[in-house]
Structure formats: structure tokens, C-alpha cells
Chains A and B, each alone.
Chain A
Amino acid sequence: MTSSSNNDPSVFAEQLAVRRHWLLCAPALTVLFLAASGPLLIVLVYSFLESGEYGGVVWKPSVDAWFRVVFQRDIFDDTLSLADAHLKILWRSMRLSFFTTITTLILGFPTAYFIATRPQNSRNIWLFMVTVPFWTNLLIRTFAIMEVIRNEGMINTLLIFIGVIDAPVQMMNTDFAIMVGMTYVYLPLMVLPLYAAMERLDFSLVEAAYDLYATRLKVLWRVIIPLVRPGVVAGSILVFIPALGAFVTPRVLGGGKKMMLGNLIELQFGAGRNWPLGAALSITLLAVVMVALLVYVRTVQKNAELQR
């Protein structure tokens, strides 16, 4: 059998084609490397440097920043203790992101199902209604929800007006406010992938389940949810990741009192003047996100294998 490797002109043509395709990608990859991926390496390097007195770094290797992510040194007697403030913020970030994911799932699943079961022509209108908030400014949406839950906001004014309460309920600057805000701004991120999965759902399978004596609840649990599981996972990841790194929403609705990881990082580059610590916290956040993504990829692969 003759080898097709070296002397076959069509193989050579294919190699040329591959090179041409690489060249087409090169400009985009260069920009992405210079202004997105590459700088992440600098962050990693910075996390192992000493902090400068007025921000910036001193080019001396140090693990102090990483140490400080978890521990703090007493200013007076140099004793070590756990960095309560940091751990509290880390814990809040995880907790609020998790509950936001659950809330958006509980609200988003029926919404996506509703859209997917509309007739074809009105379906696009409903889908559009979810897409619009998705593409509108996150800050504006956060501002809008702030209007609703402020002490002088819609809810309190309404409740006082109908006499349920005498004084406004403090909702701003609480964990609750941040969670409501994140649920509000990230809901479309849950609905869209769920919808994409449900749109492909073959309703003859639902028919078959009913035919085999399944109740509505059984159909939902045993047929619909397992079939749209990839959408559930995708939506959860799409909500969890930006929630974990949220910056604008906790800043506006937490009022600087209830910080999340994103705000803590910003603090180190601003008033905190500890760039290495900020860098170390950033890498920590990145690592958690990567783990979440890995879990996602694993789930998708497993699903793909199951369907084979």
C-alpha cells in the first residue's frame, strides 16, 4: 500500500489549508493573548511578590500575600489568627452564588418550559422578552432593583401605604439585597440555555410516558428533567460563575458593608493598597471558577457518552 504522507499533493494541499486557517486566527489570538489571557500570568507573578507601601509591588519574592488570604498577623503582638474578614467574605460569596443559582433555577425552569411550549410564532416574542434584559446594562438593572427595595423604594412605600408596616423594612445593604439583585440580573442566563435544551425536547417522549401511565409529576421528574439536564447544568454554571465574581451588584446593593470576593479584590487595589493580596485573591477566584467549569465539562461529556 502506498503511503499518502509526503508525496501526495492533496495531503500537501490540506497542510496548506490548515496553515491558512491558523493565519486567519492569528490576529484575534494575538489580541486575546495580549489583552486577556497573557495578563493573567502577570497576576500569578504578582501574587508572589511583596506589597509596595503606596500600592504596586516590590520585586521581591514572597508568599506573604497567599498567607494573608487565610491568616492575619496581629499588628501589636505578631500572633497569628485566621483572617475572619476574608473567610467571611469568601463564605458569603460561595453561599450567595449557590443560593442565587438555586433561585434562578427554580424560577427559570418553569419560565423556559413556558416559552418552549408556546406556539412557534409567539415563542420568538417570549424569547425576545428574556433576551432584552440579558443584553441591557447590568448596572442599570441593578439600579432598577435598588429602586424597588430601597427604604423609600417601591416595596416599602407600597407596604406602608396599605398599612402592613409602619417603618420601612431595611433591605438595602444586606445579603438578602445582594441575592435578590443577583437573581434578578442573572435570571436570563439561566432561562436561555434551559430553553435551548427544552426546545429540542421531543414531546413524543412525553406522550410515551403518559401512555405508560406516568402522572404529570412523574413525567416531569422521570422524563423532562433528565432530558434537559445538560441545559440545567449549563444554566447553573452560567449563573454561578459570574455570581461568584460579581462586583457591581454587591457594590451597589451591599453598600460597601456586605462585600463579596470581587469587592474584596478591588479593595486591595484601591484603599487596601495590597496588590499582591489582590492578585492572590484573584487567582483564588479563578481557581474556583475553573473547578466549576471542569465539573461542567465532565457532566457534559458523561451525558454525551450516555447518549451514544
Chain B
Amino acid sequence: MQDNVNDAPANAHAPGVDIIAQNVVKIFGEGAGQVRALDDVSVTIHENEFFTLLGPSGCGKTTLLRLIAGFDHPTSGTIRLEGQDISHLPPYKRPVNTVFQNYALFPHMTVAQNIGFGLEMLGRSNSDVADVVDKMLALVRMGELRDRRTDQISGGQQQRVALARALAPRPKVLLLDEPLSALDYKLRKDMQIELKRLQHETGITFIFVTHDQEEALTMSDRIAVMSRGQILQIGSPRQIYDHPAERFVADFIGDTNFLIADVTSSAGGKARLLLSSGREVNADLPEGMTPSGRVTAVVRPEHATLVTPGEGELDGMLENVVYLGTDTHYHLKLSDNAPFVVRSQNQRNEDEVFAVGETVGIALESDSLQVLRD
């Protein structure tokens, strides 16, 4: 199944639902300098879900996060937490905690004091706070650093402290604002696994903001792809990758080949497409779309293989071969001059079969085409 773009719920109090944003608009500035950071965004995030807001910088993902945290308030629309309207509550009255991009650890407090801060503000007893701090330190494996100042620990350690600090009050929802962007590659990979583990162990809803598609695909239960203040598509990583509904989504996530084709018939979410080569193929349609005439379809480079001319669905001229170790990318030009890339996994002691300048055939895996909503 595929989530609808406008999945505003009929029943706002449905069990298992944590956060509902409904028709949220956020405008910054006044007059001519107005910026529409969020343009009528509706989204439902379920309990115990690892939900990712993915998009390029300026797409509104951080704004949405800040609205949920309460650092900003929507210009119009509502945000509900477990059915309660929290749109205009100040951040300190929301059971929602944030892991900041720069961690925002208090420099005048120790690691333990940082982690205990939220509980202290909630008025918990000292022994309670100490208990939870110890548990949190164990959870993020930082026990031995409890009395260090936060500027005396490494970036990765600061990251863990920030996580522990945000988790310590046991929020209903944990917001993570590109928390891994300041870490180097190796550490980032480790933290991705660590975050999944923490989410699993604590059972807290995670809302994760990133511009890194790989990060989003690896970690999320569901992803919302955003652009220019709007959510374009919501779905599982596999749905987003295999069935992109919009050109932007297809382009932003992974490498994609775009094909212009004519619809000959459609039924039951499938369509027959007439390609520029004159051959017909099957393709998936976005939900609720009944296309006609000319459409754009996408196919991932790994779902195509090079064959002898005439044997595949398409023909093209091989322009460039890029060897990448695990893969080889073949850059081709189709008969209608559109570019096309084929990716094939390398085998040991393989000989180059195709030479640059040659005309080759391209075979598409069955069921590998997706029509875009244009």
C-alpha cells in the first residue's frame, strides 16, 4: 500500500497516533520579504515510529521540527500530540525533546548535570534524577565520563550526551535535527546503528531530520520527502525508492533514468507504455492516477542490463564507461538523445564486452518502471 500525500486523518484520536500536523502554514517575515517556509503541510506520525523528514536545505523540514518542538509557532493550522492541540504551547510545556544539530550542551555543567537538567526542571527529587542519569549514562555507554565538562569530550561523545539528555525525561517524541552531520563518516555509520538501537530499546517515537538520503533509507520506518515547504511523498524507504510519485522524489533519492513514453492503456494501477524505441512495457502508476497521452516514467540504473542491440526494450549508443570498483556505470545516449545510465555489478576477471561508441541494447527488468505524477 502507499500512503496518500494528503494523509490528514479523519479520526484525530486514533490509538497509536502520536503527532498530527494539519494544514500547517508557517510564514517568516512580513510584506515583500515574506517566506513561506511551510505551505499547507499535513502529516500523521505514529507511536513508536522512526519517522524521517528528508529534503534539501530550505525545504522546510527543520521548520516543521521546530514547530513540533515549540520553538516556533504555526502561522495557521494545528499540531496535535495524542489528540491535544499543542500548536501554541511553549516548548517547556511539551513532552517533546530535541537533539540539536550542534548538540547545544551547556558548557557550564558537567555531563551528568546536562543529562539531569530536564528532570531537575520537572521538579524530580535529587535521588530520582541521579538514578535516571546513571541509567542514561549506561544506555549511551558514557558512565566513566559523568563528571567531565562538556568541552572536554569528543564530538561523538557530545552526541551521546545530547541524546541521553533528550531521552532522560522520557519524552513522548524525540526530535533529531541533523544530529549526525557534524560527525565523520565512520562515526556516523556507528551512530546510525546506535540510534536504531536506542529507538528500539526506549520505544519512543523518533522524528529525524536529514538531507542525507542514504541515512534516511537506512534508519527510517517511514520517510516524508519535502521540497519548497511541502511534503511530496510519504512512505516506507522501499516505497519511496521503488515507487517515487514525483520527479523531485525520484531525482533526489538515488540515481534515476527518466523516460518519455506514451500511455496505450491503463488499469488497476498499471499502465502499458509505448517507449521511444517503439516497444511496449508495463509500468506502475502512482495511486489514484489515470494517465493518458505522454508521461514520464523512471527506471533505476540497477534495473537495466546491457544486451546485444535489438534484444532489449531500448537501444542506445555507449558514450562512457565509469569503473567504480563494485560497479561499473555505462553512460548511454538513447535514440531520442535522452541520457541513460546502466549500472552493473562487477565480477572478478570480467572482460569488457562493450566498447565506447558501440550501439547496444538495454533490457529493463520486468516491473521496474514507475510512472510519475507530473
A joins B in a complex: yes
Residues of B near A4 (CB, < 8 A) are 27, 29-30, 34, 75
Are B73's CB and A9's CB within 8 A? yes
Give Cα A8 to B76, complex, Å. Answer: 8
Using known A-B contacts A2-B25, A4-B27, determine if residue A10 contacts B34 with beta carbons closer than 8 Å: no
Besides A1-B34, A5-B30, A9-B88, 6 more A-B contacts (Cβ < 8 Å) are: A1-B36, A2-B25, A4-B29, A4-B34, A8-B76, A10-B72
The answer to the question of A31 belonging to the interface, with a C-beta cut-off of 8 Å to chain B, is no
**Contact residues, B170-193 vs A (CB, 8 A):** none
Residues of B near A45 (CB, < 8 A) are none
Nearest residue, chain A, Cβ from B67: A10
Residues of A near B75 (CB, < 8 A) are 2, 4, 8, 10
Give Cα A261 to B80, complex, Å. Answer: 71
The answer to the question of A13 belonging to the interface, with a C-beta cut-off of 8 Å to chain B, is yes
Residues of B near A5 (CB, < 8 A) are 30
Q: Return the 7 tightest CB-CB contacts between A and B, nearest first.
A: A4-B27, A10-B73, A8-B75, A4-B75, A9-B73, A9-B88, A4-B30
Are B76's CB and A13's CB within 8 A? no
Residues of B near A1 (CB, < 8 A) are 34, 36
Residues of B near A8 (CB, < 8 A) are 27, 75-76
Query: Per-residue 0/1 for B78-91: is the Cβ within 8 Å of any A Cβ (1 yes, 0 no)?
Result: 00000000001000
Give Cα A172 to B25, complex, Å. Answer: 76
**Contact residues, A227-286 vs B (CB, 8 A):** none
Interface size on A, residues (CB 8 A): 9
Are B30's CB and A11's CB within 8 A? yes
Nearest residue, chain B, Cβ from A8: B75
Residues of A near B29 (CB, < 8 A) are 4
Q: How far is the CB of A55 from chain B (nearest CB, A)?
A: 56
**Contact residues, B18-56 vs A (CB, 8 A):** 25, 27, 29-30, 34, 36
Give Cα A13 to B34, complex, Å. Answer: 17
A-B contact number at CB 8 A? 23
23 interchain pairs, CB-CB under 8 A? A1-B34, A1-B36, A2-B25, A2-B27, A2-B75, A2-B76, A4-B27, A4-B29, A4-B30, A4-B34, A4-B75, A5-B30, A8-B27, A8-B75, A8-B76, A9-B73, A9-B88, A10-B72, A10-B73, A10-B74, A10-B75, A11-B30, A13-B73
Give Cα A13 to B91, complex, Å. Answer: 14
Interface SS of A by simple majority? loop
**Contact residues, A1-27 vs B (CB, 8 A):** 1-2, 4-5, 8-11, 13
Q: How far is the CB of B202 from chain A (nearest CB, A)?
A: 32
Residues of B near A9 (CB, < 8 A) are 73, 88
Nearest residue, chain A, Cβ from B34: A4
Give Cα A5 to B34, complex, Å. Answer: 11
Nearest residue, chain A, Cβ from B36: A1
Residues of A near B34 (CB, < 8 A) are 1, 4
Q: How far is the CB of A303 from chain B (nearest CB, A)?
A: 27
Residues of B near A11 (CB, < 8 A) are 30
Nearest residue, chain B, Cβ from A1: B34
Residues of B near A2 (CB, < 8 A) are 25, 27, 75-76
Nearest residue, chain B, Cβ from A10: B73
Q: How far is the CB of A13 from chain B (nearest CB, A)?
A: 7
Give Cα A4 to B33, complex, Å. Answer: 11
**Contact residues, B69-118 vs A (CB, 8 A):** 72-76, 88
Give Cα A9 to B88, complex, Å. Answer: 8
Q: How far is the CB of A7 from chain B (nearest CB, A)?
A: 9
Q: How far is the CB of B69 from chain A (nearest CB, A)?
A: 14
Residues of A near B36 (CB, < 8 A) are 1
**Contact residues, A53-108 vs B (CB, 8 A):** none
Q: How far is the CB of A1 from chain B (nearest CB, A)?
A: 7
Nearest residue, chain B, Cβ from A13: B73
Residues of B near A13 (CB, < 8 A) are 73
Residues of A near B72 (CB, < 8 A) are 10
Residues of A near B25 (CB, < 8 A) are 2
Residues of B near A10 (CB, < 8 A) are 72-75
Nearest residue, chain B, Cβ from A14: B30
Q: How far is the CB of A195 from chain B (nearest CB, A)?
A: 27
Nearest residue, chain B, Cβ from A5: B30
